[in-house]
């Protein structure tokens, strides 16, 4: 694919900017395929400032593939709890067990990298370029945004011709002598400058950018419309006995599988009678008349209004390992759902 006559100037300008503007981040130290892998998985749909402490704790506990492969799913989810999108953690564990079972480090061949469970094209390209210096162009949301604006790509970049065009541009523009540094610079530009609300005056490419020249920054990339938001009301039973909270573990075939939570259910309205009725098939409770705690929580396109009711337990807790009484301190260290973690903070437990 042909590029503008100033392609080399684009490359040198971006890399010079990157040297000045790059952030000091823990995954940029002592770079290994495993460290890059963990960081890239955590950074999917999650802000850098949120990821940093999780990454540091995760690497302290599981410093390499062998250590992660030997962990249980619950141990991994405990460290992931609060980061969201828990399928990422499960896939990371599957991938580590896959490689450990073969006595292998992360592969250097493209097809072998894609054979690792949970690894897609973006993650494979990021690991192979950043850790091994191999010439693969990484294309994530930040890079899509940069390229669509720079070259004025008006087609939907998530499918068909638009997606192919973006990938072709990424591959053609790639600095093949230093692909890892190049991919990282592109991601950094998208994160710090060419963001959803771009800071064009700070951009090293502002003189070459089609969107900046034509005033289309807000129109590009031309992404498909988001799904309509769904509003949900969720009631939670806060049941305490001798300084301990009653927790239950979610089932295996539901969202947030095997995570710990406070017993609860979705409601039509935040009233005590609905919570009592909604939990009746699982647990007999007598809620206080009014909710004592309230918070908001978001999962994908759902906006959830959470109401916590003080409840008295009527009868016995169901028998089984999926129910337990724990102090707030101990509960804070479990693999909790995001709603449970927020309520625990409101109750005075550790975040």
Q: Phi and psi of 148, rounded to 5°?
A: -60, -40
Q: Is-contact 247 317, C-beta < 8 A? A: no
Catalytic hit among 8, 24, 40, 168: 40
Taken as a whole, the chain contains a residue count of 351
Residues 8, 15: Cα–Cα separation, whole Å: 11
Task: Of 133, 130, 167, 120, give the one whose Cα is nearest residue 148.
Answer: 167
Give SS3 for 325: strand
Give strand pairing partners of 308.
236, 293
Q: Which string of DSSP letters, residue by residue, matches 81-142?
A: TTS--THHHHHHHHHHHHHHHTT----SSHHHHHTSTT--HHHHHHHHHHHH--------HH
Tell me if residue 40 is catalytic: yes
Q: Hey, what are 287's tokens?
A: 């809620």
> Tokens 């309205």 sit at which residue?
269
List C-alpha distances in Å: 197 to 20, 50, 67, 146, 200.
Answer: 21, 20, 41, 12, 9
Catalytically active residues are: 40
């Amino acid at each position: 694919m042909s590029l503008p006559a100033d392609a080399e100037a684009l490359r040198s300008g971006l890399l010079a900017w990157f040297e000045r503007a790059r952030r000091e981040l823990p995954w940029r130290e002592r770079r290994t395929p495993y460290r890059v892998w963990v960081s890239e998985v955590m950074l999917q749909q999650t802000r850098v400032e949120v990821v940093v402490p999780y990454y540091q704790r995760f690497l302290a506990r599981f410093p390499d593939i062998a250590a992660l492969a030997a962990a249980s799913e619950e141990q991994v989810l405990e460290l992931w709890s609060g980061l969201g999108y828990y399928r990422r953690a499960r896939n990371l564990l599957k991938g580590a067990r896959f490689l450990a079972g073969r006595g292998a480090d992360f592969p250097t061949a493209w097809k072998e990298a894609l054979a690792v469970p949970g690894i897609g094209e973006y993650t494979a390209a990021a690991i192979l370029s950043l850790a091994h210096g191999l010439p693969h162009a990484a294309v994530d949301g930040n890079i899509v945004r940069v390229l669509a604006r720079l070259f004025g790509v008006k087609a939907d970049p998530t499918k068909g011709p638009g997606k192919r065009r973006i990938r072709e541009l990424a591959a053609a523009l790639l600095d093949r002598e230093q692909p890892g540094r190049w991919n990282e610079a592109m991601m950094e530009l998208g994160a710090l400058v060419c963001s959803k609300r771009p800071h064009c005056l700070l951009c090293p490419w502002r003189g070459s950018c089609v969107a900046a020249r034509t005033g289309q920054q807000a129109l590009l990339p031309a992404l498909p419309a988001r799904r309509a938001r769904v509003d949900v009301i969720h009631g939670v039973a806060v049941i305490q006995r001798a300084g301990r909270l009653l927790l239950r573990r979610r089932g295996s075939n539901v969202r947030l599988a095997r995570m710990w939570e406070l017993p609860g259910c979705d409601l039509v309205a935040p009233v005590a009678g609905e919570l009592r009725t909604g939990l009746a098939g699982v647990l007999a409770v007598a809620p206080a008349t009014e909710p004592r705690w309230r918070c908001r929580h978001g999962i994908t396109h759902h906006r959830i209004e959470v109401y916590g009711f003080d409840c008295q337990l009527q009868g016995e807790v169901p028998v089984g390992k999926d129910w337990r009484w724990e102090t707030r301190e101990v509960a804070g260290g479990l693999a909790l759902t995001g709603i449970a973690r927020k309520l625990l903070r409101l109750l005075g437990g550790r975040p």
